[in-house]
């Protein structure tokens, strides 16, 4: 029998709640069971539970033990959903199967899937604040939002006027060495290219080109790292074939899994004229070899495979339409577009070519843009619209959220820094992150509030290699308790 991965971990109450969450399906948009678990914890301590129409949950917990009296209300905010990704060859039903957790040294991983430490550790910490009967703290508002990972939709729907607190502690950061005081805003652009499918010509050969084995990663956290985009690699091989005269017709292209994940895999189904089969294989092999050499050190598991397509012959796009689709995928932006002039090493603006799907009449492509600058976001969206228009496609702004502008003079940030120094014996790094945080959405509705975000060290979020550093969970909990004590005493 496998050893208990949670054995002897502290704080025990936090880990008890995290273990429970790993047994509850909670992909984005499917948080009902997780929300009911939160409700059960609230009921067990007699705390009022409020659910809004979107499915967000708000719990109001009164001051307890030595903290009773006239104390300031503090809001603690997390999100219930997780990114649901599994490694190639791993079969996992995220709607029903629990996450299988394993422990390696000082880290917790899942077995072949995302772990859900983002933001399960934050949710577990908030629940521990509620259920730890020995904890002395002032009155709390515990906010659990939904659908964060697919566009911060829960936070955008939440009525922030319900909050009585003027301080907001967000527990959705992933670096225990830092306190976050600002984050990028986002804009999602969906490009739709009309396609016309027809029966393939006589004497056609059907092939499948697959790109797999990439690291992927969070497009807010790892976009600046040397990580390949599977959609871009796929398009580059197919474009090389077209450039060398191969008569290529696309039947379907699929790539990417979420708007905020760098695509790890992509696949194209296509046909070529039988007379050009050997040429097709030779050109593709050369292009594949060049890409694998170029990415060998940064993407050691990269595999690009061209093989025969199994099954009945599919309908295919006309040659002009195939060229237009591949050119569009090649020209749409991906990666870092600008670095911050104010924060060293911080990405100011980026684009993630996140998703492509073809259907009977349309190819749909999603670009997720991020920037701390609203003007830059608008310019990226305009650039995508221009590229789309030149290809004969439409581009629609289908999602977005505001940036969280940093406040260097924030009393809350100063209090968090003091608490951090008491726990760690050193000053924290103060940072603005490129990933989107719900603080920006909530503060846009309540500009009188201040916010700070922190959390344990979580690496490879949004990938099957996601893991959390166990010792940093304990120190993050200590920071949370220390900060709550100082804030509640401030009155």
Catalytic residue numbers, as ranges: 81, 148
| Distance set, CA 351 to CA 176, 344, 347, 385 (Å) | 26, 19, 11, 13
Per-residue burial over 45-68, b if 16 or more Cβ lie within 10 Å, else e, is: eebebeeeeebbbbbbbbbbeebe
Closest CA to 295 of 240, 354, 224, 229: 229
| CB-CB contact of 251 with 199 (8 Å) | no
Which two tokens mark 378? 């608008």
Which residues touch 485 (CB under 8 Å, ≥6 apart)? 67, 136, 137
Alpha-carbon Rg for the chain, nearest whole angstrom, is 24
Which two tokens mark 333? 């932006």
Which two tokens mark 447? 């500009």
Per-residue burial over 195-218, b if 16 or more Cβ lie within 10 Å, else e, is: bebeebeeebbbbbbbbebbbbbb
Beta strand pairing call for 347-358 and 362-371: antiparallel
Per-residue burial over 307-343, b if 16 or more Cβ lie within 10 Å, else e, is: eebeeeebebbeeebbbbbbbbbeebbbbebeebeeb
Instruction: Give me the residues paired with residue 205 across strands.
Output: 272
| HEC secondary structure over 214-237 | CCCCECCCCCCCCCCCHHHHHHHH
Closest CA to 457 of 108, 155, 149: 108
Which two tokens mark 476? 């993050």
Which two tokens mark 468? 């959390």
Which two tokens mark 94? 């995220």
């Amino acid at each position: 029998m496998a050893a208990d991965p949670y054995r002897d971990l502290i704080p025990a109450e936090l880990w008890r709640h995290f273990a429970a969450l790993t047994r509850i399906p909670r992909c984005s948009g499917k948080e009902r069971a997780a929300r009911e678990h939160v409700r059960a914890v609230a009921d067990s301590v007699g705390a009022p539970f409020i659910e809004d129409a979107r499915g967000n949950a708000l719990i109001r917990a009164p001051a307890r033990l030595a903290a009773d009296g006239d104390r300031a209300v503090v809001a603690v905010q997390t999100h219930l959903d997780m990114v649901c990704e599994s490694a190639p060859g791993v079969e996992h039903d995220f709607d029903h199967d629990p996450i299988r957790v394993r422990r390696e040294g000082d880290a917790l991983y899942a077995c072949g899937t995302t772990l859900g430490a983002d933001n399960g550790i934050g949710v577990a910490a908030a629940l521990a604040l509620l259920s730890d009967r020995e904890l002395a703290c002032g009155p709390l508002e515990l906010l659990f939002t939904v659908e964060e990972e697919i566009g911060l939709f829960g936070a955008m729907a939440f009525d922030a006027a319900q909050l009585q607190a003027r301080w907001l502690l967000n527990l959705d950061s992933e670096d225990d060495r830092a306190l976050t005081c600002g984050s990028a805003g986002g804009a999602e652009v969906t490009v739709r290219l009309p396609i016309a499918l027809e029966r393939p010509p006589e004497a056609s050969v059907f092939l499948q080109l697959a790109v797999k084995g990439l690291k992927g990663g969070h497009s807010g956290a790892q976009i600046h790292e040397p990580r390949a985009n599977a959609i871009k690699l796929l398009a580059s091989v197919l474009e090389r074939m077209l450039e060398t005269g191969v008569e290529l017709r696309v039947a379907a292209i699929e790539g990417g899994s979420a708007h905020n994940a760098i695509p790890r895999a992509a696949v194209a189904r296509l046909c070529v004229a039988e007379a050009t089969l050997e040429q097709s294989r030779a050109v593709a092999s050369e292009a594949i070899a060049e890409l694998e050499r170029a990415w060998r050190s940064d993407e050691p598991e990269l595999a690009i495979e061209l093989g025969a397509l199994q099954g009945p012959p599919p309908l295919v796009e006309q040659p002009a339409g195939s060229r237009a689709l591949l050119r569009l995928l090649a020209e749409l932006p991906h990666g870092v577009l600008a670095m911050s002039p104010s924060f060293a090493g911080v990405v100011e603006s980026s684009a993630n070519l996140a998703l492509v799907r073809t259907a009977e009449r349309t190819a749909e492509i999603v670009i997720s843009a991020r920037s701390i600058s609203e003007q830059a976001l608008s310019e990226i969206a305009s650039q995508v619209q221009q590229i789309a228009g030149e290809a004969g496609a439409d581009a629609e702004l289908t999602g977005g959220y505001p940036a969280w502008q940093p406040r260097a003079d924030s009393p809350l940030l100063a209090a968090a820094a003091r608490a951090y120094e008491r726990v760690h014996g050193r000053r924290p790094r103060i940072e603005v992150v490129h990933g989107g945080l719900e603080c920006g959405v909530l503060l846009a509705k309540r500009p009188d509030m201040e916010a700070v975000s922190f959390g344990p060290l979580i690496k490879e979020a949004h990938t099957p290699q996601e893991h959390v550093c166990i010792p940093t969970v304990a120190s993050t909990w200590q920071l949370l308790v220390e900060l709550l004590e100082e804030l509640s005493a401030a009155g």
